[in-house]
Amino acid sequence: MLDEIIEYKLKLRLYIHILGALAVLLFATLQFSRGDFGTAFMSTLGGGYCLLVVLIMLRRKHYLWKGRGFVFFIPAVILNVINFHPEFGIYWAYVVVLGFFLVMELKEACIGSVLFILLASYIISPHYPYPILLRITGTLIIVGLSAFSFSFLINQLHSKLNEIATHDPLTKVLNRYTFISSITKSLNEFNRYQTPATLFIFDLDYFKSVNDQYGHQIGDNVLIDVAQMVTSRIRVGDQLFRYGGEEFAVLLPYTSVENAAKLAEDLRYFIEKQNFNLDRSITISGGLSEIKAGDRANTWIERCDKGLYQAKSEGRNRISTKGSSDN
């Protein structure tokens, strides 16, 4: 669903720029035939910008300057038309206000539309009686507020879906889907820049007995508490994922396995000493592995799993780097 919304926004902006290019270039041709070469030239620039955006989106799937070029071309063309032809140019102002919110990000669209409405109202002020000027400005503001409301709701929906798609609903940490994409990104960065990274996978020891003895609600609370504890003790750039069930993973970019082992041991000790309001302690076992040349996602994860299994076989409540030394 998240990818579909992003694709929908890109397609919408593509179609808007196609229509914009046709409309502006047609307008430029009309002005050229009337001898208004200044307006025709500026309109041609605006149409050319729209065509450039369309070409880049079709070839590279990239939205040029995130739509910011719109500010420098289309509003400037319309303000020029309003200045020389206020009797009909003002009607294009409504299209521009709407366009800000369709082709730009919300914050930038708000700033651009406010400035545009102020400039347009100032330009037409000598040409219209005060009551008419108020009506024009008022309706421009109404159009802007309506477009703002639509864009704001779309952004809120996008943020909500992004949260659902990337985060675990129980612990609120990143989920397994995001885990795969994140370690793939780390692998790409290592292959290109030799950027080190270490992966730490751990799970809660004898967690099934917690659920059996205290119930799943208490078990869920333990998972939430552990996730919050780990989050509070890792760096801003580190990422915590719920890998599955009672299993978690921590991706540590720019970190050697030696430094990661210190952090992992600190987490193990910290969790063991916490009071979970149970008549038993909660401990973790985990495996570490630093990224290596030729790694794929599955080989990197497998080495961590080997360390995890080693830690369990040695009695649990410990961290193992055995997998990191395997080829």
Distances (CA, A) of 301 to 131, 252, 293, 325: 70, 14, 14, 13
- Taking a C-beta distance cutoff of 8 angstroms, is the pair 231, 224 a contact? no
The catalytic residues are: 246
Residues 142/148/151/154 CA torsion (nearest 10 deg): -90
Which DSSP state fits 94? H
Quick one: which of 312, 176, 183 has its CA closest to 244?
A: 176
What crossing angle do the helices spanning 37-60 and 2-33 adopt, rounded to 10°?
Answer: 150
Q: How far apart are CA 7 and CA 259, in angstroms?
A: 41
Instruction: Work out the end-to-end distance of the chain between its first and last CA atoms, rounded to an integer number of angstroms.
Output: 39
By DSSP bridging, strand 284-290 and strand 239-244 are unpaired
